[in-house]
Amino acid sequence: MAGKKKAERLPQGFSPCGIVEWAFLGEPQPPFEGKGEPKYKVTIALDAEDEKVKAWQKSIAALTKFDGMPWKLDEESGKLHVTFKTLRPVKAYDSVGKLLAEGVWPGRGSVVRVAYVPNEYPGFGGGINLYLNGVQVIELVEGFGSSIDFPKEEGAYVSDGISKSPAADGSAQGDDGPF
């Protein structure tokens, strides 16, 4: 009985530093139309003319005989958009390798480097995808869920902190008005 040949595991790599376009790192992105699994993912924009980026692209292309690559050139901006994704939670690190505080994630505009494992696939015409392993934050722009520190407006409305919504018994809290 002939055994199945196990696919060769490719080594972990690191992307060039790029600007976050989209990030689902703290919570996975729900599947499109409810089909498939939720995925943690990040899409970064790279300078397509940068020599380091070109060398990185060449090293990824050398890993497969197929044409499908994990990036798309945005004709309008000239940037190369690369998406990394995984089914499992990932960690984010600062520029010296220290874990970011719980709940702090890079958002759109952050500069990051991505740790990934390339995976060659033969289906759908074949190609390579990049499994997300972690993110190193070089410049942080916090993502959604962070606190918002609005500038103060002099002489404007200030909440008294009392809820105007109905209480459990149907009466209004903190409001003596007729409505």
pLDDT class of 175 with cuts at 50, 70, 90: very low
pLDDT higher at 145 or 84 = 84
Integer Cα distance of 79 and 93 in angstroms: 25
Rounded distance between C-alpha atoms, residue 179 and residue 175, angstroms: 8
Domain 13-139's class?
A: mainly beta
Please write down the HEC assignment for all residues of 52-85.
HHHHHHHHHHCCCCCCECCEEECCCCCEEEEEEE
Domain ranges of the chain: 13-139
pLDDT tens sequence across 103-156: 899 999 999 999 999 998 888 888 899 999 999 999 999 875 545 566 788 887
Which one is predicted more confidently, 67 or 161?
A: 67
